Amino acid sequence: MSRTDDKKKKSKKWEAYEAKGGELKRTKKSCPKCGGGVFLAQHKNRVSCGKCGYSEKLS
């Protein structure tokens, strides 16, 4: 038993999260007003920013 085992479990969680984020990245656009770190929420035919309220129609 070692403390490194605990750390490994935590990093595995991160991997799963990052993989999920990678999938979403394909469709998610970043907000032109807030910058690259803020992603637009995907709706049926538009995307919107939860931070500044910017929205964009998808064609």
DSSP conformation letters of the chain:
--HHHHHHHHHHHHHHHHHHHHHHHTT--EETTTEEEEEPEE-SSEEE-TTT--EEE--
What is the CA 42 to chain-centroid distance, rounded?
11
Q: Pick from 29, 30, 34, 41: which binds Zn ion (CB under 5 A)? A: 34
Stretch that binds Zn ion, among 5-13, 14-22, 32-40 (CB under 5 A): 32-40
- 31 scored as a contact of Zn ion (CB under 5 A): yes
28 contacts Zn ion (rule: CB under 5 A): no
Considering only the stretches 5-13, 17-25, 28-36, report the one whose residues sit in contact with Zn ion under the rule CB under 5 A. Answer: 28-36
Q: Is 33 in the site for Zn ion (CB under 5 A)?
A: yes
